Structure 1
Amino acid sequence: MCGRFNVTSTPGLQVLLNELSVDVQVTEAACNVAPTEAVGLLRSTGDAPCSMQLARWWLTPSWAKEVSQKYAMFNARSEGLSKSPAFRKPFASQRGIVPMSSFIEWRGSAGDKQPWLISNEAEALAVAALWDLWFDDKTDGSEPLLSCTLVTTAAAESFKPWHTRMPVMLSSDDRERWLDNRAPIEPDDPVFAPQLREALRLVPISRAAGNSRNKSPDSILPAGEWVTLPATDA
């Protein structure tokens, strides 16, 4: 699961965008980003180069009658991408990337959960996403709604104390392949394996992060000792 993340101006995140040939400068922090908010989505259509656009973080399928939050569509389980009516077409030809500096996960028992900040050494994660366009039939000439969902997979063994799921964090070798919608990706592709392809760094942060309206950078400052989970990719 991935229900909150952050986009802060780190050198590593800028390098990531440059490597993907996206001419965007991250100048303002977006902290504690929550589902239904606008997020930066990298996508490529046809032969066009990759570009970044704002998308609503909660997928609305093109065939939906209305924009709704009846079903949780901010995450898409990798195991069902080729089967789900909502995700099947985006998985085949509408894949994208949501860049982030870190994401937040909660650990602990109900009523006493501690938020943790999770990232890699570069503070730059390329998380696999799917997108779709929805047109409002009731409004002539309106712009379509661009929305997206983050792809998750089963957690690596070392990550399970934090959650049973984790976002699909694309390695440098997988990013362009994921963005190339001219070539299919199989449902059992190694990109979905429950492994850490690079080490993750985790640290507890303020419980103020539990309130999605709290967008202060102070809410994601370290409030304890760092933990490192080593890479498990063979």
Structure 2
Amino acid sequence: MCGRFAQSIAPTDLARAFGTRNAVPNFAPTWNLPPSQSAPVVRHNPKSGERHLDLLRWGLIPHFERDPAHARMLNNARAETVAKLPSFRGAFAARRCIVPAEAFYEWKRDGKLKQPFAIARADGAPLAFGGLWESWTDPANGDITRSFAIVTTDANATMAPIHDRMPLVLEAADWAVWLGEQEGDPKALLRPAADTVLRTWPVSTDVNSVWNNGAELLQPMHDEASEGGPNSA
């Protein structure tokens, strides 16, 4: 699963990294973004043929939901069933997106304790999560909510000691196929990242609370060289 991530990359830097062409939205940096909050998402605009960077709410609301008081918000979509389940199959076929991130968090269980870890790309580039987005119209007032879910896969060898699932991490060469900009089979991309793509390091349990939101959350608990921190390979 993926339940919290950091995204403090400047809007203009994200737009440059992902080649978006619309007016760059303004959003504040966050080091502890939970579901229900808005985050920058990269989508393909079929009319202009360009990539756009937009703010969408994390927690996909299926288009068929009718009751806004009980509308489900689906944070993750499993790669194994994303093309089959009614909640996701339409979005997987036509509304795939990329969710940029600086890092994400996962918790390793040790008996009754859970140790949080931060996970980022080993090469220092932004993470590009494979996502799905949906547009939901409130039947009561016509208001539209655009929301997204992050696709998850089995863990690779780097993630397996921490958790058995991980977000779908896309390589730049696969972005165009995932976004629907060029022909290709998106199902072929539903796989764990290569074992050398990610690095992990333990962080403070301060990240457990969504009320804590600062750059210090990404600092390693111990010596970076011995713990695989931000500056180690």
Fold-level similarity (TM above 0.5)? yes
Shift of 1:25: 8.3
Q: Note closer, same or farther for the CA distance 1:25–1:46 as it changes in structure 2 (3 Å cut).
A: closer
Out of 87-96 and 119-128, give the one that drifted further. Answer: 119-128
Q: How does 1:46-195 map to 2 (within 5 A)?
A: 46-48=46-48, 49-67=50-68, 73-109=74-110, 111-120=112-121, 121-140=123-142, 142=143, 144-180=144-180, 183=183, 185-187=185-187, 189=188, 191-195=189-193
Q: Note closer, same or farther for the CA distance 1:28–1:70 as it changes in structure 2 (3 Å cut).
A: closer
Q: Distance in 2 between matches of 1:9 and 1:42?
A: 14
What corresponds to 1:232 in structure 2? none
Q: Which runs of 5+ in 2 are unaligned?
A: none
Q: Note closer, same or farther for the CA distance 1:147–1:155 as it changes in structure 2 (3 Å cut).
A: same
State the SS of the aligned residue for 2:158.
helix
Shift of 1:72: 6.1
Q: Note closer, same or farther for the CA distance 1:38–1:72 as it changes in structure 2 (3 Å cut).
A: closer
Deviations 1:85-116 (A, max 9, x none): 01000000000011001000111235411111
Which one-letter code corresponds to 2:56 in the other structure? A
Which one-letter code corresponds to 2:132 in the other structure? L
Q: What RMSD over aligned residues (CA atoms) do the two structures have, in Å?
A: 2.6
State the SS of the aligned residue for 1:156.
coil
State the SS of the aligned residue for 1:83.
coil
Aligned residues, how many? 222
User: Which has the higher relative contact order, 1 or 2, with Cα contacts under 8 A spaced 6 or more apart?
Assistant: 1
Percent of aligned positions with the same letter in both sequences?
A: 29
Q: Note closer, same or farther for the CA distance 1:123–1:69 as it changes in structure 2 (3 Å cut).
A: farther
CA contact (8 A) 2:158 2:199 kept: no
Q: Distance in 1 between matches of 2:32 and 2:157?
A: 26
Shift of 1:124: 0.9
State the SS of the aligned residue for 1:80.
coil
Shift of 1:44: 1.4
Q: Which runs of 5+ in 1 are unaligned?
A: 229-234
Q: Note closer, same or farther for the CA distance 1:65–1:206 as it changes in structure 2 (3 Å cut).
A: same
